[in-house]
Structure 1
Amino acid sequence: MSRYVMTASAQMGPISKSETRADAVKRLVEMMREAKGRGCELVVFTELALTTFFPRWVIEDEAELDSYYETEMPSAATLPLFEEASKLGIGFYLGYAELVIENGVKRRYNTSILVDQTGTIIGKYRKVHLPGHSEPQEGRAFQHLEKAYFEPGDLGFPVCRGFGGVMGMAICNDRRWPETYRVMGLQGVDMVMLGYNTPFGHTGKHETDALTNFHNHLSMQAGAYQNATWVVGTAKCGDEEGSVMGGQSVIVAPSGEIVAQSYTMEDEVITAKCDLDAGNIYRETVFNFEIHRRPEHYGLIVERTGAVLPAAE
């Protein structure tokens, strides 16, 4: 018997610097209701869904910087989202900036959570592959200071059981790295959910930046196919405080095919009936890790090609 999960990707248009968390949550709730109205039991929101993309600015005042982070989840501002999820019987993925105090040390992460149909958090992930810079760069209209405002996630790439399958999470730049999908693929992941805020012009090279949307889809489609998993990619997009971010949110099948895609640069809900068993044919044939994957030979291949191995720690 197939395991179907009616799934929504809830793309967000820009969030201005002046918008409050209450404003953002209201928009998320409206899209959640729309997703439920289309029969969905899971809605995937974006990265940093509660605020504008603040790493684009140099923020020297620590109190101002702290204002963009969540210290608890749910908080008073986000509780309406959890309550609505429980009321409607729909789960969700949510990305946000997280601030925690551990052993007296302030730590900041780019984080996502997975919440089930009862409004209960069942999974948590902290972004591993941080893009951009740790120091401001000269000559840039907008900075990309994720390395300054976050530290790499310390939770690895965990999966959890929910919605009838094995669920995994990633965030934005993680989608470009094959290890992201493979670590979860080795754990039998059925669906990878990821939100992204991707500005055009992030490399500073027109030839590359012109391919932003192509590379966005390429990485998610390859990750889906090579690991026999659904991938749900949700953008925050449009002209946000003068910085234009890419959209084209997608739901990608384990075949690597895009089965749903947004067409606006605004709040938009797209849906697909995702069969979590659709990856089985690939797991049993082309990407049967047990009979085809040969990690014991990878070191030998590197040695024979003359590649330089990293020094042992």
Structure 2
Amino acid sequence: MRIALVQQKAGTDKSENVERGLAALEKAADNGASLVCYAELAFERFHPQRPAGPAPWKLAESVPGPTTDAFARAAGKRGVVAVINLFERDGERTFDCSPVIDADGALLGKTRMVHITDYAWFHEKGYYHPGDTGAAVYKTKAGRVGVAICYDRHYPEYMRALALEGAELVVVPQAG
């Protein structure tokens, strides 16, 4: 299996960042990738490096929503699995979220980061609620894929839970 790992520097224009991410998916598919993975907050600047304030809240979006819809169309058109990451809003709560999209364009589900860190230059507790989706594993065209977002990777029991759920591959979106 060929896996494409996309790491792009996000500018201030989220729609431009999404377009660059979609172009990277196209290029990855052209080069034979069957799974395309994106870094944590690939389509917006890493706002948790600053204490929480009102400005970043406008970047949060629902899942499904405009970004997941765009990647679902592209993944379905090119026949690749995509694991993206974004700042999700669900009612009054926000999450560090990785939607998983299958090669037919179906949104299989989303993983929300469970372990939220807070230390110098990482003010995540001011932005994110702890995830409530558990250690989900998604049956994709590329295999059984689990997701451990950023700090979750430091917890052996989280990784063990993914293994027990049958993960053949674990994607770890992180900003660092």
Aligned to 2:13: 20
2:155 to 177, 190, 196: 177
| 1:43 matched to 2:36 | yes
Aligned-pair distance for 1:80? 3.2
| Percent identical | 28
2:95 to 101, 109, 117: 109
Show the 5 A alignment for 1:176-215: 176-198=154-176
Q: Deviations over 1:1-42 (max 9, x none)?
A: xxxx32211122x223xx222111111112111111111121
2:108/2:138 contact within 8 Å kept:
yes
| 1:87 matched to 2:87 | no
What letter is aligned with 1:119? G
1:65 to 56, 62, 83: 56
- Secondary structure (helix, strand or coil) at the match of 2:100 reads strand
Aligned-pair distance for 1:74? 3.0
- Secondary structure (helix, strand or coil) at the match of 1:196 reads coil
Going from structure 1 to structure 2, the CA distance change for 1:175 and 1:155 (only over 3 Å counts) comes to same
What's the TM-score, normalizing by structure 1? Answer: 0.53
Larger radius of gyration: 1
Aligned to 1:9: 5
2:100/2:138 contact within 8 Å kept:
no
- Secondary structure (helix, strand or coil) at the match of 2:61 reads coil
RMSD (Å) for aligned C-alpha atoms: 1.7
Q: Deviations over 1:224-269 (max 9, x none)?
A: xxxxxxxxxxxxxxxxxxxxxxxxxxxxxxxxxxxxxxxxxxxxxx
Aligned-pair distance for 1:191? 0.6
Structure 1: distance between partners of 2:68 and 2:138: 23
| 1:119 matched to 2:105 | yes
Aligned to 2:143: 165
Structure 1: distance between partners of 2:109 and 2:2: 19
Structure 2: distance between partners of 1:165 and 1:79: 22
- Secondary structure (helix, strand or coil) at the match of 2:70 reads helix
What letter is aligned with 1:73? P
In the alignment, structure 1 segments of 5+ residues that lack a partner are: 134-139, 199-313
What's the TM-score, normalizing by structure 2? Answer: 0.91
What letter is aligned with 1:82? A
Aligned residues: 176
Structure 1: distance between partners of 2:68 and 2:18: 6
Going from structure 1 to structure 2, the CA distance change for 1:90 and 1:59 (only over 3 Å counts) comes to same
What letter is aligned with 1:67? K
Structure 2: distance between partners of 1:175 and 1:50: 21
Structure 1: distance between partners of 2:74 and 2:156: 35
2:7/2:42 contact within 8 Å kept:
no
What letter is aligned with 1:86? G
Going from structure 1 to structure 2, the CA distance change for 1:157 and 1:41 (only over 3 Å counts) comes to same
Structure 1: distance between partners of 2:71 and 2:143: 23
What letter is aligned with 1:165? G
| 1:55 matched to 2:41 | no
2:63/2:99 contact within 8 Å kept:
no
Structure 2: distance between partners of 1:93 and 1:183: 19
In the alignment, structure 2 segments of 5+ residues that lack a partner are: none
Structure 2: distance between partners of 1:127 and 1:78: 17
Structure 1: distance between partners of 2:59 and 2:65: 15
